Amino acid sequence: MKLGLKLLQERSQVGSFWWPYISNLPEAYSVPIFFPGEDIKNLQYAPLLHQVNKRCRFLLEFEQLVKHVLSNVETSSSDHPFGGQAVDASSLGWAMSAVSSRAFRLHGGGSHGDIDIPMMLPLIDMCNHSFNPNARIVQEQGGNDDMLINVVAETAIEEDDPLVINYGCLNNDLFLLDYGFVVPSNPYDCIELRFDGALLDAASTAAGVSSPSFSSPAPWQKEILSQLKLDGEAPVLKVTIGGQEPVEGRLLAAVRVMLTSDREMVEKHDLSTLMSLSSDSDAPLGTATEVAALRTVLALCVIALGHFPTQMMEDESLLKKGVSSATSELAIQFRIQKKALIIDVMRDLTKRVQLLSSKSKDMASPPQG
């Protein structure tokens, strides 16, 4: 929030050098902390709702901290850092949103040493995002510790074409939280799940796997789960579906290991192999285990999809009819993209199961003639 507080301070100063820039910043931002309560609810995705609530709580707590620090400073005093203006959760939220949506993290020079520091770059911050950018930001160190920031073309740019840069390989949660937009068919978007034995037992049972034991792993299985940071001290239980791989490697390896009793077979492979979904016919622990593992993940997808109270067709229908506000539209677009992601993963995994099953039948069929 240091840069945000500096932004508020400059906004409050009469004759600030930065006023021409600040006066052109948006008066309001389309990020979820400013959504009406109903539209926050309409996001329908618990991990994002958690982040929105977390940011709102932070702003309310920070407001109290600022008020406490300024309690002994007269509003008319020249010592008041904000020119006597009140600093509340709303103004802090505006500043935080301005920084999150426009600041760049650049390599600090001079007295800043080798740390990355957020900086707001007037004009440059007007470049929109694209995963296929036609420009990039280049940082150079000039004389006397001066920092030079250039926008350099990556391709030939036609007249009147917008300059677009890559904001980062982010999922739609972060794009919406920090920038206030959603990227359709975002290749880096994903669904967050919690690695939970009871949930996986339920998914595996629903997938037709007999006697799953996710809730009671054998000691050797627990050891592998610990190596995957899914058990033991300080486990990282958040796993994902979607993104650059249909299934996060840690989740895939855990499901594979938990659905086999063949310890010797497992120990023939390193973790990277167990975590890999490199080809449609890849089955490091055998076809039967692989089919069971993929069906279990498919069932997890069905459960995740069922957590959304509306169906994708309903959402698309709402958008076609038109909604009352831009925030309502954003909320619906966000949840549509999450559901589309889950459906795409399900199609991918279903195809893999079908190929594996077909391959297994071919191998079991007696030769003709």
Percent of the chain with pLDDT over 90: 74
Q: How confident is the model at residue 106 (pLDDT cuts 50, 70, 90)?
A: confident
Please give the residue that has the higher pLDDT: either 196 or 106: 196
Q: What is the CATH number of the domain that holds 214?
A: 3.90.1420.10
End residue of a domain, out of 148, 179, 210: 179
SS3 state at 29: coil
156 and 9 part of one domain:
yes
Task: Tell me, yes or no, whether 175 lies in a domain.
Answer: yes
Tokens of 359: 């391959």
How confident is the model at residue 85, as a pLDDT?
Answer: 87
**Structural domain count, the chain:** 2
pLDDT 10s digits, 171-201: 999 999 999 999 999 999 999 999 999 999 9
pTM comes to 0.88
The arithmetic mean of pLDDT across residues 296-322, rounded, is 94
49 and 147 part of one domain:
yes
Task: Tell me, yes or no, whether 277 lies in a domain.
Answer: yes
162 and 260 part of one domain:
no
pLDDT 10s digits, 25-43: 999 999 999 999 999 999 9
First vs last Cα of the chain: how many Å apart?
77
Q: How confident is the model at residue 142 (pLDDT cuts 50, 70, 90)?
A: low
How many CB atoms lie under 10 A from the CB of residue 11?
20
108 and 243 part of one domain:
no
Task: Tell me, yes or no, whether 139 lies in a domain.
Answer: yes
Task: Tell me, yes or no, whether 92 lies in a domain.
Answer: yes
Mean pLDDT estimate for the chain: 90
Give φ, ψ of 194 to 5 degrees.
-105, 130
The arithmetic mean of pLDDT across residues 79-89, rounded, is 87
How confident is the model at residue 156, as a pLDDT?
Answer: 93
Q: At what angle do helices 46-70 and 89-102 cross, to 10 degrees?
A: 120
Beta-bridge mates of residue 238 = 194
292 and 160 part of one domain:
no
341 and 245 part of one domain:
yes
How confident is the model at residue 278, as a pLDDT?
Answer: 78
Give the range of the structural domain holding residue 173, as residue numbers without chain letter. 2-179
CA quadruple 45, 47, 48, 51: dihedral sign: positive
Task: Tell me, yes or no, whether 367 lies in a domain.
Answer: no
How confident is the model at residue 361, as a pLDDT?
Answer: 63
End residue of a domain, out of 179, 201, 231: 179
How confident is the model at residue 33, as a pLDDT?
Answer: 95
Q: What is the CATH number of the domain that holds 104?
A: 3.90.1410.10
Q: Does the structure show a pLDDT above 70 at 98?
A: yes
225 and 148 part of one domain:
no
How confident is the model at residue 17, as a pLDDT?
Answer: 93
Nearest-angstrom CA–CA distance, 84 and 199: 54
The arithmetic mean of pLDDT across residues 94-110, rounded, is 84
142 and 199 part of one domain:
no
Task: Tell me, yes or no, whether 56 lies in a domain.
Answer: yes
The arithmetic mean of pLDDT across residues 98-124, rounded, is 78
